[in-house]
Amino acid sequence: MKIIYDLGANNGDNLPYYFLKSDKVVAVEANKILCNQIKKKYEKEIQSGKLEVLNYVLSNKKNKDETSFYIHKNEHVWSQALIPKIEKINEFEEVSVKNKYIIDLINEYGDPYYIKTDLELMDETIVRELFKNNIFPNYISAEAHNIDIFCLMNGLGNYNSFKIVEGHNVDKKYKSTNIKTDKEIVNYSFPYNSAGPFGNDITGPWMNTNNCFKTLGFLGTGWIDIHCSKIDQPDNNYLPEREVKIKVKI
């Protein structure tokens, strides 16, 4: 069974695509209002067992107590589990949400085929806990606010095949894209603020560690997702965009 974990599901923009690519989706979102929106929109998928919607703050510790979660008053995509900076604290509303230990979540719902994390500065913590417990899915992605998540994926995760999705242009670059499912090819357009495609639905070859590092140096970090694969081999002849531009200039 192919199970996709959408960790930081937000308002569910990723779900229609994930339904095409899996047998079951486990969507975890700390904002209860957004969870309720997802449940209302995808009632049929929940009833059929295709979708689980869970209102948790994910943790790297076995702590069943509730914890604070900070919902941004204007931009729900900026909500976070970490205490906001003092100069921005008034932009958030503090609520209490139940903790869920990430390993307990995986043990409860099954081995992941793909894990997507977008947890606003908590990605590294959760991914590290997965790797420490020998959970290395075929595909995994995380938002790269800095270079640390890439180092973690390559070092502790032993991944050596990478692709990059730039968040700012997902809706434009992947508009009317042909998506391969187990049964057919489907034309699909990714909405703005969605995580976009994963695996071989991402355009371009898989990069090795060195070329991904060079590409990140060219693009920088921030609104960028790093994707890893355990089952696809990198193209060692692939030339990062930065080097292409340099060669063309010369």
Q: What is the mean pLDDT of residues 76-94?
A: 83
pLDDT band, residue 70 (cuts 50/70/90) = confident
Residues 6+ apart with CB under 8 A from 158: 136
Per-residue pLDDT at 69 exceeds 90: no
pLDDT band, residue 141 (cuts 50/70/90) = very high
Q: What is the mean pLDDT of residues 241-247?
A: 49
Q: Which amino acid is residue 120, in one-letter code? A: E
* CA 118 to chain CA mean position, Å: 5
Per the listing, tokens 């034309």 go with 187
Per-residue pLDDT at 242 exceeds 60: no
**Selected residue with higher pLDDT from 147 and 78:** 147
Per-residue pLDDT at 249 exceeds 80: no
Per the listing, tokens 């604070």 go with 68
pLDDT digits (tens, 9 = 90+) for 208-241: 999 999 999 888 888 899 999 999 999 988 877 6
Q: What is the mean pLDDT of residues 185-213?
A: 95
**Selected residue with higher pLDDT from 80 and 156:** 156
pLDDT band, residue 246 (cuts 50/70/90) = very low
User: What CA–CA distance (Å, rounded) separates 16 from 27?
Assistant: 12
CA atoms within 13 A on the CB side of 88: 13
Q: How many Cβ atoms from other residues are within 10 Å of residue 56's Cβ?
A: 19
